[in-house]
Structure 1
Amino acid sequence: MIATDFQPFSIVEDTGFKKYSQALNPSYIPPSRKALAQKVTDMYDRETASLKRRVSKVPAVCLTTDCWTSRTTASYMSVTCHFIEDFRVASCLLDCFEFSERHTADNIAQQLLSVAAEWGVDKKVVCCLTDNAANVTKAIQTIGWTHLPCLAHTINLVVRDNLQASKPIIDKVKEAVEYFHRSTVGAQKLKETQLQMKMEELRPKQDCPTRWNSTYYMLKSFIASKNAIISTLAVTNAPVRHLSQEEWTTVQEICTILQPFEEVTVELSAESYLTASKVAAQGVIDSLCASMSLRFHRIHANHILADTAALDPRFRRMAFPDGRTADETFQRLSTAAARISSDTPIQQQPAVEGLEGAGSGAGSIVWSYFHEKVAGTVEARNPTSDAVMEVRAYLEEPLLPTHEDPLKWWECRAPVYPRLSKLMAKKLCVVATSVPSERIFSKTGQIISERRSRLKPKWSELLSSLMQICPRTRKRQKKP
């Protein structure tokens, strides 16, 4: 209730809550404010310890981070962690804490290292995703981690740059939208007009520069109520500039152009499935406008993104624009897989069903010498050649349909590709955007509400973590 429903601790002292509790159960005595706070603290400690045990078992993690200022002008920093667990994508919030120091690269680096060390992942970080802020980028470089810019931020910058040519038309749309949001007469008349025209009651959405795709959503909602808006503006004699028919056509064309950008941003901002492997996939890049080539120049030269695309069974070589880049990537993966086979013992796979014992003489004295000789041969094999053979066999597999889950594919093929499956867990944990960190702030903004504006940073940090943990904990407990 406190974490998930954004209720203040003082709710147990409210007259209405006490009367409601008494009506349900006259003998029930609500806990005191202090006792309730202690229960929340105990729950946080218990769930955090459980998460730390899970994270300690994974071979590699990807982090995202971002900063935010609350309504009380307190500055916060969030750090999220993403990893592959039992061939499933998993994520958790490591910390969301008050960051009162200056946001210099050194201070940010120190905080990131502190959080990573506390959770025991400082040596497991494959990469860290952030927005394009120079101080955060420099902080990650100072630590020595691999930095990846948030793809959603990059797309947003591309869209913003290319919308400058249509700025006069978009400004007209903004004027009309703002009129309907500030004028009660205009908003009511628009609603009545929509009902008369048997249209859905929609108030045009406002544009927000810091919200990705918000311009697209504004224009789309504006077009959806085109006839009602034209009629309402004429009847109310609104003090806004009207769009000509040619400008209405341009707005429709802009929506058509922006739709692929919106789809890509939404798809790559998810946390429940693999996203980074799609960034370097040639089909995704080709679907975007040519203007993105400047910001995505030589994207396949980024080893992190190239490796994730190569190890995604939906793409493999198809993710690369030329054979040379693909060859370099798979050569690099072969070398990495060879190191895994030499550093990590590979479990002997069970015999194929139907062969063992079926006239093979597996348990006879006659075959015992042969099996010992074969076992010696297996142990003496070159790890590098084994890794190369795995990569070659992996490349000959048919491509997985794009709607299929690549991790389920790896779960089935792990016995066939033991080295690559271990390497996959270290590569495919990478996410494409820093959106997970920003989602934390959207929820934290609800925690630090007007009614809870006096909430101390300690409690906002704790409740932010519990809000992320509690729903997933309940879901896990339902499993048999």
Structure 2
Amino acid sequence: MLPISFVEGKGFREFMAFVEPEYTVPSRKTVTSRLEKLYDDGACDLHTQLASANKVSLTTDSWTALTTESYLTITAHYIHNWEVHSAVLQTKAMSERHTAENLSIVLTNATDQWGIGGKVSACVHDNASNMVLANTGLDWDSQPCFAHTLQLAINDGFKLQQINHVISSCNRLVSHFHHSTVATEALKQKQQQQNLPEHKLVQFCKTRWNSIHNMFERLLEQRWAVSAVLSDRTVTKLSDARTLEQTDESWTVMEELLPVLHSLKCATTALCGEFGVSISMIYPVTSTLLSKHLKETPGESPKVTKFKQTVSASLERRLAPADIRNASKVAYIASFLDPRHKHLRFATEEVRRAVKAAVSALLSSPDSERDLEDAAASNEPEPSAKKTKSDCLSASAIAVLFGEDYSGETHTTHTTELDNYCQDICPPLHTDPMTWWKANDCKYPRLAKLANTYLGVPATSVPSKHVFSAAGLIVNRLRTRLHPEHVDMLIFLNKNMA
């Protein structure tokens, strides 16, 4: 995370001479060559891991460095021994325009470079039109980031004139306290007098909708301390107070809107984890939001009701399949293969039938049967020593005596396996689907193969976005001349080898 030339600094060398006089600090070139060797070894290991994976899913997102260079980060996610593994594949510098064609070429080259061509099941990305088109027509399913979809739906609600007026008014109020040291100090005094927590007000950030939730929550907590500061003419001018003071109606809207925003924030937080958050959770969470948290409540403000209706309509429009044939999309199949949600209670009966038919078709495909045969062959015990004639006669006599069906084992078809899975009891919601499948993969071998593919698809492109924080520390003002290849190398090492 530091400039490599740091090892040649006078202060660092004096420090190391004091700590370990016998140690010779390597030069910048030596450290660079060692990092390159470490990267080569790490890339080779990752190649091996990806080669052993049944299916791989990708997430991708673009970002701009301090040097105004544009990069595209690609991460890979797969399940091995019923554990979800993630890795940063590459951070590619893109000097050309971010057209759908150029993005598609970068994604395809990355899969070929890492030896996962034909193994990618889905790619999760934001809702930008160029990214959507780039993933259309490729060998994998294109999946929009649920966090971005939810944000777009919530922003549709914030665009309502009455709600937007409250947000703008609160934002001006918070800005006043952030830009006035006198008002900030007065707020501290009022908090002490009223025995309120000495918390600062939270500023709204346009790129993070949940900052509105935090702003409303903090203002409601500090309402009377803020009002006391605004009514103190030694601190706030009358003209400023008239502009900044919130009406009772605005406070009511904030109070009623806060529980709704809290539920939406919980949904975002639950699905934005970097590990173990599968795409199977998207529709169950959305259904809960629509049927419970975004339902009209008797006696609530018309503004809040309108906000709920707008967000609900936007979510339904963005996530509903265009037609019943699209009900077999990755997210629906993943929910079906998640034992907690296999009954698809959030979907219509027509969608349930379509999803089950899609899964049945996948199970009966030649590729599925071939994978099952390969798995069975790999689990067969090693051949023992050569059997004698008497051993064969004994085995034959035992078979005749007890009959072939004595063990109770029967050959199940994919239809029987699918029916048994549907009739099996759903585990509790807190159950880890990976743990459940690890215990039941022998019971449902064909479905386990599908679960290994679909449950490894992330719900959001957050893994790619998390790279940005590390990248911001690597490509800083002290490293503006860092070569793009070394940026890729350092991010790879920082995220995969830590």
* TM-score by shorter chain over 0.5: yes
SS in 2 for 1:67: strand
Indicate whether 1:34 and 2:29 are aligned: yes
* One-letter amino acid of the counterpart of residue 360, structure 2: S
* One-letter amino acid of the counterpart of residue 186, structure 1: A
Q: Is the contact between residue 130 and residue 149 of structure 1 (CA under 8 Å) also seen in structure 2?
A: yes
* One-letter amino acid of the counterpart of residue 268, structure 2: T
**Distance 1:50-1:247 versus aligned 2 partners, 3 A rule:** same
TM-score normalised over the length of structure 2:
0.84
1:53 Cα deviation from its structure 2 partner: 0.9
* One-letter amino acid of the counterpart of residue 347, structure 1: A
* One-letter amino acid of the counterpart of residue 268, structure 1: L
Indicate whether 1:428 and 2:450 are aligned: no
Correspondences of 1:76-475 after superposition (within 5 Å): 76-165=71-160, 166-235=163-232, 236-237=235-236, 239=240, 241-281=244-284, 282-283=287-288, 285-287=290-292, 289=294, 290-291=312-313, 292-298=315-321, 301-339=327-365, 340=367, 342-344=369-371, 345=373, 347=376, 364-368=395-399, 386-471=413-498
**Residues 374-417 of structure 1: CA deviation (Å, up to 9, x unaligned):** 69x999x6xxx610111111112111111110111000101111
Question: Which of 192-201 and 27-36 deviates more?
Answer: 192-201
**Distance 1:169-1:341 versus aligned 2 partners, 3 A rule:** closer
**Distance 1:333-1:228 versus aligned 2 partners, 3 A rule:** same
Question: Which of 277-286 and 420-429 deviates more?
Answer: 277-286
User: Using the alignment, how far apart are the partners of 1:75 and 1:177 within structure 2?
Assistant: 34
Aligned to 1:477: none
User: Using the alignment, how far apart are the partners of 2:43 and 2:107 within structure 1?
Assistant: 18
Q: How many residues align?
A: 452
User: Using the alignment, how far apart are the partners of 1:112 and 1:372 within structure 2?
Assistant: 57
Q: Is the contact between residue 264 and residue 289 of structure 2 (CA under 8 Å) also seen in structure 1?
A: no
* One-letter amino acid of the counterpart of residue 341, structure 2: F
Q: Is the contact between residue 128 and residue 147 of structure 1 (CA under 8 Å) also seen in structure 2?
A: yes
SS in 1 for 2:122: strand
TM-score normalised over the length of structure 1:
0.87
**Distance 1:198-1:151 versus aligned 2 partners, 3 A rule:** same
Aligned to 1:355: none
1:370 Cα deviation from its structure 2 partner: 7.6
**Residues 262-297 of structure 1: CA deviation (Å, up to 9, x unaligned):** 111111111321321111224455345333222222
**Residues 28-81 of structure 1: CA deviation (Å, up to 9, x unaligned):** 222111111222222211112111211111111111111111222111111111
User: Using the alignment, how far apart are the partners of 2:197 and 2:263 within structure 1?
Assistant: 25
User: Using the alignment, how far apart are the partners of 2:345 and 2:380 within structure 1?
Assistant: 34
1:185 Cα deviation from its structure 2 partner: 3.2
1:350 Cα deviation from its structure 2 partner: 9.4
SS in 2 for 1:126: strand
Aligned to 1:3: none
**Distance 1:363-1:261 versus aligned 2 partners, 3 A rule:** farther
**Distance 1:363-1:199 versus aligned 2 partners, 3 A rule:** farther
Q: Is the contact between residue 194 and residue 228 of structure 1 (CA under 8 Å) also seen in structure 2?
A: yes
* Match for residue 49 of structure 2 among 50, 54, 63: 54
Question: Which of 45-54 and 175-184 deviates more?
Answer: 175-184
**Distance 1:223-1:193 versus aligned 2 partners, 3 A rule:** same
**Distance 1:285-1:272 versus aligned 2 partners, 3 A rule:** farther
User: Using the alignment, how far apart are the partners of 1:367 and 1:83 within structure 2?
Assistant: 45
User: Using the alignment, how far apart are the partners of 2:268 and 2:354 within structure 1?
Assistant: 29
Q: Is the contact between residue 76 and residue 99 of structure 1 (CA under 8 Å) also seen in structure 2?
A: yes
**Distance 1:288-1:128 versus aligned 2 partners, 3 A rule:** farther
SS in 1 for 2:442: coil
Q: Is the contact between residue 260 and residue 287 of structure 1 (CA under 8 Å) also seen in structure 2?
A: no
**Distance 1:196-1:90 versus aligned 2 partners, 3 A rule:** farther
Aligned to 1:476: none
User: Using the alignment, how far apart are the partners of 2:71 and 2:368 within structure 1?
Assistant: 43
SS in 2 for 1:412: helix
User: Using the alignment, how far apart are the partners of 2:123 and 2:275 within structure 1?
Assistant: 18
User: Using the alignment, how far apart are the partners of 1:160 and 1:341 within structure 2?
Assistant: 42
Question: Which of 230-239 and 311-320 deviates more?
Answer: 230-239
User: Using the alignment, how far apart are the partners of 2:362 and 2:467 within structure 1?
Assistant: 35
SS in 1 for 2:478: coil
Q: CA RMSD in A?
A: 2.8
User: Using the alignment, how far apart are the partners of 1:190 and 1:449 within structure 2?
Assistant: 36
1:119 Cα deviation from its structure 2 partner: 0.8
Aligned to 2:387: none
